[in-house]
């Protein structure tokens, strides 16, 4: 019984370590993942590119 509990707890521990490692890898990778997340966060507006949103917002503030 103790061996079964130890085996299950070891499996959970290894799974958590793998998940942490995958998140660290994802954070280190520049480029593709960050670009995808920017595209998802872009609100619909007249500017088609997410990087241009800041410029558009500044222009709208100047007009106001």
Q: 17-37 pLDDT, tens per residue? A: 999 999 999 888 776 544 455
pLDDT at residue 54 in the model? 66
Listed by start position, the domains of the chain span: 2-63
In this predicted structure, the answer to whether residue 39 has a pLDDT above a threshold of 80 is no
**Confidence at residue 21, expressed as pLDDT on a 0 to 100 scale:** 94
pLDDT tens-digit profile of 41-59?
555 555 555 666 666 676 6
Contacts of 5 (CB under 8 A, 6+ apart): none
């Amino acid at each position: 019984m103790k061996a079964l509990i130890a085996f299950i707890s070891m499996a959970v521990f290894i799974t958590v370590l793998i998940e942490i490692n995958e998140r660290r890898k994802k954070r280190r990778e520049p480029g593709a993942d960050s670009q995808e997340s920017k595209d998802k966060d872009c609100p619909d507006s007249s500017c088609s590119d997410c990087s241009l949103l800041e410029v558009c917002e500044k222009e709208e503030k100047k007009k106001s």
